Amino acid sequence: MRLNTDWYLKMILWRERHITEKNFILILSFITGLLGAGASLLLKFIIHGIQGLLTDHFDMEQANYLYLLYPVIGIFLTGLYVRYIVKDDISHGVTRILYAISQRKSRLKPHNMYTSVVASSVTIGFGGSVGAEAPIVYTGAAIGSNVGRFFKMDQRTLMLLLGCGATAGIAGIFKAPIAGLLFTIEVLMLDLTAFSIMPLLISAVTAASIAYIFSGPMAQFSFEQTDPFLAERIPYVILLGVICGFTSLYFTRCMFWAEDFLKKLNNPWKKFILGSIVLSILIFILPPLYGEGYSAILDIYSGNYDHMTVNSFFYERRENFWVFSSFIILIILSKVFATAATNGGGGVGGTFAPSLFLGNLAGFLFAYAMNHFGYAPFLPEKNFAVIGMAAVMSGVMHAPLMGIFLSAELTGGFDLFLPLMIASTISYGTIRIFEPYSIYTRRLAKKGELITHHKDKAVLTLLKMDNVIEKDLQIVHPDMTLGDMIKVISSSERNIFPVTDDNNKFLGVVLLNDIRNIMFQPRLYSKMKVKQFMISPPAKIEIGMPMEKVMNLFDDTNAWNLPVVENGQYIGFVSKAKIFNSYRKVLKHFSEE
């Protein structure tokens, strides 16, 4: 983002003179909240508009063969848009945000402010079995990052504004400000300090307020809670938590298996053909897999369960317990493959909505089966659907607090807070036994790029190599005599001397401790040359090497000083003490309140 016009520079200077840094960050968080809310509303409007246009005329009593066609068209159009217009990978939005925080100094490309909205609208509107939440989080984060870059904010502020944008995206699309805040803290692992709390809150409240103004005050999945929670149901909530933990594990493992399988098909057209065929067949057999699946969630909360079988072969026998239960089980088992097929085939969407959908169905089926067989006191299906939603989300995303509050804010089910906490905690604890990473962080963890969840690594990425390279060491050459070396030592305050040739190619080092025994023997001054007592360093640091890798080199070699080279040319030295000093300065800067 390069702007050098007079008005722009004058505006930046005026701001620096008249508005303090802290106050200006609050203003930017408000702007980010507004823009994030606008993007959320636009995304929902386009998706619902496309879905309504394509499906409102369907005959509910018959299987509709257009389900075989719509998803294929959506993935095809999205693939063309991404491949030939965007020309960049915009999938896995949350993972890319984590990568930007870790590796790109919280910088997201300007096109990310709108490309995910366009691509996911087409994908989901035409039936792609994914969610709009990850794309809107990606969009909001890009808005925050680029707003900060426009006003020349420093890296710490960019990271904060990126978090503000992500918060605004969740708060705006779900009308859930607390969940938006907790998403940024638990999933993005942005530290909550006195410095960051106000901007994040402003973005969350702004985005949620805009959403309430334009879409009404009701919660997205609001329902009338007619059955208060009873203590005698706690054992069944615990059991549901365990079941949801394993459901989360199934979803996570199958998602990565399916993604890895599709990645092996190097040809994008092969991926499109396989992905679109799998998706369209699954949606044709199981229509609730169409799009985000929120209509099925609303059917559960309204008590109109059999409406989920509309446009399917199961509709005529929907009142049979075994037929209906089989229908729900098939949806739960196949949702992950529908989601993977959508993204793998060329569509753009997230796993946020699928985890909500999956949790609702798991919780509903658990209560529905228990009530049918009479194994328990009456379990309200819609209440247990809410509890299942919180539990599966907590497990898939490794974010129990967000799962609890999002489920409560989405449904208005704050009276269920205790069971939500119980099931979410148990689900999270269950999946952590088998899977240490969330569905978002595992991709980066496999590459060794997951830094946001390791604070030491996060601080190291903020260090700049230029700030820790020492260039004041005196250089010696291999043909210099010991006598010449003594003259260099007498004028130096260091105990290490890099050795280079006439073309500045790094050859080795001379350590003062290694030549102490010959320094005071004048008879050797003219006989010995530097090339006879120089040594090779235990390792060399290449320019551009990540600071985490630099620290690993120090740890592996037990060295305190290592040379820095670029294509073999000597640049300088880095000392462990220098890195520690810079680390403390950066840590203090990013922890200031």
Question: How many Å apart are CA 352 and CA 401, to the nearest integer?
Answer: 15
Half-sphere exposure of 593 (CA within 13 A, CB side): 5
Q: How confident is the model at residue 308 (pLDDT cuts 50, 70, 90)?
A: confident
Reported as a single tens digit per residue, the pLDDT across 64-81 is 778 889 999 999 999 999
Instruction: State the average pLDDT for the chain.
Output: 85
Going from the C-alpha of 584 to that of each of 325, 388, 466, 574, the distances in angstroms are 58, 44, 16, 16
**Per-residue pLDDT for 548 more than 80?**
no
| Lowest model confidence (mean pLDDT) among 81-85, 367-371, 514-518, 579-583 | 579-583
**Per-residue pLDDT for 542 more than 80?**
yes
Question: How many Å apart are CA 159 and CA 518, to the nearest integer?
Answer: 54
Question: How many Å apart are CA 537 and CA 507, to the nearest integer?
Answer: 9
pLDDT of residue 453: 46
pLDDT of residue 448: 53
**Per-residue pLDDT for 531 more than 60?**
yes
Tokens of 324: 């209906």
Q: CA nearest 459: which of 222, 191, 109, 130?
A: 191
Strands (E), 438-560: 469-470, 496-500, 506-511, 541-542
Percent of the chain at pLDDT above 90? Answer: 42
pLDDT of residue 9: 81
> Would you list the DSSP string of 351-386?
SHHHHHHHHHHHHHHHHHHHHHHT-SS---HHHHHH
Which domains are assigned to the chain? 6-219 (1.10.3080.10), 231-453 (1.10.3080.10), 458-590 (3.10.580.10)
Question: How many Å apart are CA 273 and CA 199, to the nearest integer?
Answer: 45
Reported as a single tens digit per residue, the pLDDT across 424-481 is 999 999 999 998 878 777 766 555 555 444 454 555 555 566 677 888 888 999 999 9
Strand, coil or helix: 318: coil
Q: How confident is the model at residue 120 (pLDDT cuts 50, 70, 90)?
A: very high
The secondary element (H helix, E strand) that includes residue 565 is strand 561-566
557 Cβ neighbours under 8 A, 6+ residues apart: 538, 539
Residue 552: left (phi > 0), alpha (psi -120 to 50), or beta?
Answer: alpha
Candidate ranges 99-108, 237-246, 466-475; pick with highest mean pLDDT: 237-246
Whole-model pTM?
Answer: 0.76
pLDDT of residue 34: 96
139 Cβ neighbours under 8 A, 6+ residues apart: 36, 39, 43, 93, 112, 113, 114, 116, 117, 165, 169
- Name which residue leads in pLDDT, 104 or 343: 343
Q: How confident is the model at residue 136 (pLDDT cuts 50, 70, 90)?
A: very high
pLDDT of residue 593: 44
Q: CA nearest 47: which of 288, 291, 274?
A: 291
Say if residue 398 is exposed, middle or buried (CB neighbours under 10 Å; 0-12, 13-18, 19+): buried
Say if residue 393 is exposed, middle or buried (CB neighbours under 10 Å; 0-12, 13-18, 19+): buried
**Per-residue pLDDT for 106 more than 50?**
yes
pLDDT of residue 268: 87
**Per-residue pLDDT for 588 more than 60?**
no
Q: CA nearest 94: which of 353, 424, 352, 474?
A: 352
| Lowest model confidence (mean pLDDT) among 76-90, 414-428, 502-516, 578-592 | 578-592
480 Cβ neighbours under 8 A, 6+ residues apart: 488, 529, 530
Between strands 541-542 and 561-566, the pairing is parallel
Cα–chain-centroid distance for residue 590?
A: 21
Question: How many Å apart are CA 563 and CA 295, to the nearest integer?
Answer: 62
Strand, coil or helix: 83: helix
Reported as a single tens digit per residue, the pLDDT across 479-493 is 999 899 888 888 888
CB 403 within 8 A of CB 360: no
Question: How many Å apart are CA 185 and CA 254, to the nearest integer?
Answer: 27
The mean per-residue pLDDT over the stretch 495-504 comes to 90
Amino acid at position 381, single letter: E
pLDDT of residue 443: 65
Question: How many Å apart are CA 233 and CA 379, to the nearest integer?
Answer: 7
pLDDT of residue 304: 85
Candidate ranges 128-142, 235-249, 537-551; pick with highest mean pLDDT: 235-249
Q: CA nearest 476: which of 459, 458, 447, 496?
A: 496
pLDDT of residue 96: 78
Cβ atoms < 10 Å from Cβ of 490: 7
Q: CA nearest 293: which of 372, 243, 225, 357?
A: 357
Q: How confident is the model at residue 4 (pLDDT cuts 50, 70, 90)?
A: low
Q: How confident is the model at residue 587 (pLDDT cuts 50, 70, 90)?
A: low
- Name which residue leads in pLDDT, 453 or 526: 526
Reported as a single tens digit per residue, the pLDDT across 168-214 is 999 999 999 999 999 888 887 766 666 778 999 999 999 999 999 99
